[in-house]
Structure 1
């Protein structure tokens, strides 16, 4: 019976109902400071588009200033439908390479020198199924190091500013959003993280590509969950989400023929993923949970994979991961 329920949850996330929270539901963002990692393409670009056209100060973090400048031109030239009448915000580039932990501290220091508040951080950037064996500069499996470790370290630097922002901001408006995926259902058994060998270095058999990707997306869920335990009483809402199955450059490592078939049959335009992230950022429903929430397409409160939930509730997997990453990232603080 549980497998049937799990199947229906996956189908619901893969073929969601029409969105109820759209661009025109986003409030006035003037005076708000908003960070989007990976905001120059895909879902992050669609998210940044709305934030700018609703008046926010949008910090777009990424590796390439050229890609940022192209995104800015696109965003300014193509406002979302229904937002033409509103005052525009501003956009700024923050140079960071999430595959190299030595770039995190300088980027964070740069940001903290520029802003005196941080209302919402979307840890949106990610890597999906690169060639097996791909590593970060520090030797982490590329998806784990980029999607999980780097965002954890960045959050260590930015958390005090968000806590300060929450002291004077309206209740429930300061949020940290760790972007996961439906792939969190595919993490390794039993509870989503292979703690004995996270980087799969002790096994001669290469892991399946979606196994390591799924593990990284479980990692994002666990960080959101534990961060909620740490800061919810300080006024910060910590969420994770599945933005949906979307056409984006995340699929760049999949073969062209397979990608074309998947895109035609199963994937949606990136705008819809942006709507999921907007719901997580601005809808009152996630804040009403008074703790962690998992958001699913195109803006609904969802249910985690049963095994991942069991690990959280009965085996403290989130606390274990948090402690592990604190120890591993201390040298980069």
Structure 2
């Protein structure tokens, strides 16, 4: 019942108005470099389609070069809306397995050896409600390790180049986007992170998979918030967002609950427009600080508990310190 009440209160996110910022609003991206993790399918693929057909150099992070090649063929053969006659960019594969922290440093080193700027990063890849007990190679709860820890580590490597890029790039154009979800509303009490046992290793009963997924999405919000505190003065905009309730393979483990609410799912392109807004909308500036974006490209509210934790209990600083300590050995 509580979950149903919460969904009713989220009705603006569940049934959003039409997108105001779309492909036709995109500037020429020639000469700019972008990284999208999980860009071979779903929302990431649709985002890459837009970036490529507007002239951007697009690096796609993922585990499967075969999946990337299939996505690249699809993107090249099917232009994004309103961009069919625009100059094309390029698509490149970067191997990284976010369920294995040992792959992050080699991926970052390879990327940094090939590029001299990095304009926008979307930490887009994610896992949603896999079988309870699923773990990363390093023993993290799979959603937490994949959605939060690996992206945090990757960001540690990429931040210096983004800082350098911001020194000469147009104001507010260098951005880091941490993809969250409406599921952050379902994260554990009191403030969204179960700090006493983040991986639920000592829980007497199996955790609700939606709750652990929601916790990982709060983790993305907290990373975006804390990173904004650190880099806004350097010219980097750090944001988080809910891309929307979408028809993608992210729901492959969701089972009957997603079938029940399938009428509420939208095409992946609309989620890409949310990510596009976060990456390029001119009203999003370092002066605004951290903001949370909701479908299909609007500044919206965070969950009240999560916001309270950020503003009054320093949850982002606490999490950041934990992640720095845990990822140090992989630097």
Shift of 1:254: 2.3
How far does the alpha carbon of each residue in 1:100-139 deviate from its partner, in whole angstroms, 9 at most, with x for none? 0000000000000000000000000000000000000000
Between the aligned partners of 2:283 and 2:108, the Cα distance in structure 1 is 30
Between the aligned partners of 2:242 and 2:88, the Cα distance in structure 1 is 28
Select the residue among 282, 285, 292 that pairs with 2:283: 285
How far does the alpha carbon of each residue in 1:228-285 deviate from its partner, in whole angstroms, 9 at most, with x for none? 0000000000000000000111111123x5544432x110000000000000000012
How far does the alpha carbon of each residue in 1:155-198 deviate from its partner, in whole angstroms, 9 at most, with x for none? 00000000000000010000000000000111100000000000
1:1-333 matches, cutoff 5 A: 9-255=9-255, 258-263=257-262, 265-287=263-285, 289-333=287-331
Between the aligned partners of 1:288 and 1:162, the Cα distance in structure 2 is 14
> Contact conserved, 1:33 with 1:118, CA < 8 A, in 2?
yes
SS of 2:91's equivalent?
strand
Shift of 1:290: 2.8
How far does the alpha carbon of each residue in 1:208-244 deviate from its partner, in whole angstroms, 9 at most, with x for none? 0100000000000000000000000000000000000
Between the aligned partners of 1:310 and 1:283, the Cα distance in structure 2 is 27
Give unmatched runs, 5+ long, in structure 2: none
Between the aligned partners of 2:228 and 2:204, the Cα distance in structure 1 is 37
Between the aligned partners of 2:4 and 2:97, the Cα distance in structure 1 is 41
Shift of 1:203: 1.2
Between the aligned partners of 2:237 and 2:44, the Cα distance in structure 1 is 20
TM-score (norm 1): 0.96
Between the aligned partners of 1:233 and 1:176, the Cα distance in structure 2 is 14
> Contact conserved, 1:143 with 1:213, CA < 8 A, in 2?
yes
Q: 1:4 to 1:229 in 2, by over 3 A?
A: farther
Q: 1:318 to 1:158 in 2, by over 3 A?
A: same
Matched length: 329
Shift of 1:6: 6.5
Tell me the C-alpha RMSD between the 2 structures. 1.5
Between the aligned partners of 2:71 and 2:305, the Cα distance in structure 1 is 39
> Contact conserved, 2:47 with 2:276, CA < 8 A, in 1?
yes
Between the aligned partners of 1:129 and 1:165, the Cα distance in structure 2 is 36
SS of 1:238's equivalent?
strand
How far does the alpha carbon of each residue in 1:273-307 deviate from its partner, in whole angstroms, 9 at most, with x for none? 00000000000122265311100000000110000
Q: 1:288 to 1:21 in 2, by over 3 A?
A: farther
> Contact conserved, 1:232 with 1:290, CA < 8 A, in 2?
no
SS of 2:250's equivalent?
helix
> Contact conserved, 2:237 with 2:286, CA < 8 A, in 1?
no
How far does the alpha carbon of each residue in 1:63-122 deviate from its partner, in whole angstroms, 9 at most, with x for none? 000000000000001101210111000010000000000000000000000000000000
Between the aligned partners of 2:7 and 2:128, the Cα distance in structure 1 is 23
SS of 1:92's equivalent?
strand
